[in-house]
Amino acid sequence: MSGTDLEDEGITFVLGGARSGKSRFAESFVTSLPRPWVYIATAEAHDDEMAVRIAEHRAQREAGWQTLEAPHDLHDAIGAAPKGAVVLVDCLTLWLSNIMHGPYDIEHAMTELEQALHARESATVLVSNEVGLGLVPETPLGRAFRDAQGRLNQRVAAIASRVIFVVAGQPLVVKGST
């Protein structure tokens, strides 16, 4: 997949399971393109362990990224990215979890995200977990999250030019060309 192809194709959606290599793949995908690169981070450090994970993730990232924090207002962060910048959103799973735990309308938040993506004129790469391959969650909240994540993933995949599923660090193109 050449940088030119990605620039021409708009939205690329990268899915995978936990620790599948999807974020690493998406970052290397973006850094193959000309700068500027904007990293939109959705994680929140609610405890010390998560704060350490976020710090390690930042330290591993190649120099040259502009980082925007968007645990809730993802559509605003996407809209605030400089025109012509390549945007990486990592990840939709954490963002949706943040939305579900706050006083937000999930459907409205998803619609705002779709509108922000449609308004982008430069390459945008989004990372998300594929949550539909495991067991049925035990709790009502777990099932509601799995269902909402599945709907969100389907909506983003529908508007993406390219969908890539990452398994054990290996990309599998589900939609679009290589």
Catalytic residues: 57
- Is 84 marked within a binding site? no
Residue 109 burial by Cβ neighbours in a 10 Å radius (0-12, 13-18, 19+): buried
- Is 42 marked within a binding site? yes
Structure tokens at 173: 């193109």
- Is 10 marked within a binding site? no
- Is 21 marked within a binding site? yes
DSSP 103: T
Burial pattern 34-55, b for ≥16 Cβ within 10 A else e, equals: eebbbbbbbbbeeeeeeeeeee
The amino acid at 141: L
- Is 63 marked within a binding site? no
- Is 144 marked within a binding site? no
Binding-site sequence positions:
16-23, 41-43, 58-61, 69, 90
Binding-site sequence positions for GTP:
16-23, 41-43, 58-61, 69, 90
